[in-house]
Amino acid sequence: MNFKALLRHFKFTSQERTGIFLLFIIIIVLQAVYFLADFSVPEKSFPEKQEWISLQTEIDSLKSIRYNEKPKVYTFNPNFISDYKGYKLGMSIEEIDRLLAFRKENKYVNSVEEFQQVTKVSDSLLNVISPLFKFPDWTQNKSTFKTEKKEYVRKSYLKKEKAEVLDINVATQEDLIKVYGIGEALSLRILKQKEILGCFVSMEQMKDIWGLSPEVVMELNSHFKVVIPSNLKKIAVNDASLKELSQFPYFRYALAKQIVTTRSMNGNFNNIEDLSKIKDFPVDKAKIISLYLEF
């Protein structure tokens, strides 16, 4: 190996040696700055951020309380169990039908035992749902009720005989509020619905008013009846425009458009049966709707 040729690469002039020395100095200074200087960016303080954090903590605590809360359980009178309510409770279709058939005879179950006799539900299901039952107070005080039964029946009978059945189309808010279960809000809702329809043509329409329970509807039926006014302006279904039909509460715009289209293609409708053949027509309300129409 030729060492002399190799050593030539390590011979520097005075200027080169000075340059190399300065390079080392610069490297050492940069290393010192790198290890000793603090290059971290100071974090800015935002007062709003602290408020958000505190609020988030409060929200998290409220959420945990809410998730740990047990749902409220409401009691109910088992005499008024509907198909859907019975399904949610775990009753079979046959058990629900037995109860509905019993109620159609205008009879009421007044105890847990009587409920099981009528519906024939199993003991296990009865143990689960019976704590939710709430019967009228008088069923819990039968001994007191029996001693006054004759007088109570006689008085209630006399009251029913004297009770005046009013036409719901002329009833005022004061008349409606007299019915048990109806307050200011529900009475106004009934009057508003009557205003939208022009008048009621059937007491069945009470079931369509939001907020009226089956018990309250029964009370309304015992205090009111429907007398269709002679000046009821009916809709001439064969001449009415699309706008007139779509403004009728029982028709949506899409249905009104189909009625107009079918009428233009097939000619006039002769009766409600012809009209009910149209797709999406509310067949379950056909009888009520027919009383508002003119063919």
Count: domains in the chain = 3
Alpha carbon distance 235, 165 (integer Å): 29
Q: What is the dihedral of CA 234, 235, 238, 242, to 10 degrees?
A: 180
Start-end of H helices in the chain: 3-7, 14-36, 47-68, 83-89, 93-104, 112-119, 123-129, 137-140, 142-147, 149-162, 173-177, 184-197, 214-223, 242-246, 253-266, 272-276, 286-290
- Sole residue written with tokens 């009888």: 287
Q: Is 71 inside any structural domain?
A: no
End-to-end CA distance of the chain: 122
Q: Is 15 inside any structural domain?
A: no
Looking at the structure, tell me whether residues 216 and 239 fall in a common domain: no
Q: Is 126 inside any structural domain?
A: yes
The average pLDDT across 169-177 equals 93
Query: Which of 174, 193, 225 is the last residue before a domain boundary?
Result: 225
Looking at the structure, tell me whether residues 251 and 287 fall in a common domain: yes
Task: Assess whether pLDDT exceeds 50 at residue 161.
Answer: no
Query: Which of 138, 167, 186 is the last residue before a domain boundary?
Result: 138
Give pLDDT tens digits for 77-129.
888 888 888 888 888 888 988 988 888 888 888 888 988 999 998 998 889 88
Q: How high does pLDDT run on average in the chain?
A: 82
Q: 248: buried, middle or exposed (CB in 10 Å: 19+, 13-18, 0-12)?
A: buried
* Domain span holding position 119: 78-138
Give pLDDT tens digits for 182-195.
999 999 999 999 99
For residue 72, what pLDDT is reported? 63
**DSSP secondary structure letters along 25-64:** HHHHHHHHHHHHS--PPPPPP-HHHHHHHHHHHHHHHHHH
HSE of 51, CA atoms in CB hemisphere, 13 A:
3
Query: 154-190: string of b/e by CB count within 10 Å (b at 16+)?
Result: eeeeeeeeeeeebebbebeeebbeebeebeeebbebb
Q: How confident is the model at residue 163 (pLDDT cuts 50, 70, 90)?
A: low
Q: Is 28 inside any structural domain?
A: no
The answer to whether 288 and 204 have CB atoms below 8 angstroms apart is yes
Query: Which of 106, 138, 170 is the last residue before a domain boundary?
Result: 138
Q: What is the pTM of this model?
A: 0.45
Task: Assess whether pLDDT exceeds 70 at residue 158.
Answer: no
More confident residue, 4 or 248: 248
Q: Counting every residue, how long is the chain?
A: 295
Looking at the structure, tell me whether residues 130 and 188 fall in a common domain: no
Task: Assess whether pLDDT exceeds 90 at residue 218.
Answer: yes
Task: Assess whether pLDDT exceeds 80 at residue 68.
Answer: no
Looking at the structure, tell me whether residues 167 and 186 fall in a common domain: yes
The average pLDDT across 176-180 equals 92
Looking at the structure, tell me whether residues 131 and 188 fall in a common domain: no
Q: Is 127 inside any structural domain?
A: yes
The answer to whether 166 and 223 have CB atoms below 8 angstroms apart is yes
Looking at the structure, tell me whether residues 95 and 132 fall in a common domain: yes
The average pLDDT across 250-278 equals 92
Looking at the structure, tell me whether residues 128 and 98 fall in a common domain: yes
Q: Is 163 inside any structural domain?
A: yes
Q: How confident is the model at residue 147 (pLDDT cuts 50, 70, 90)?
A: very low
CATH number of the domain that 195 lies in?
A: 1.10.150.320
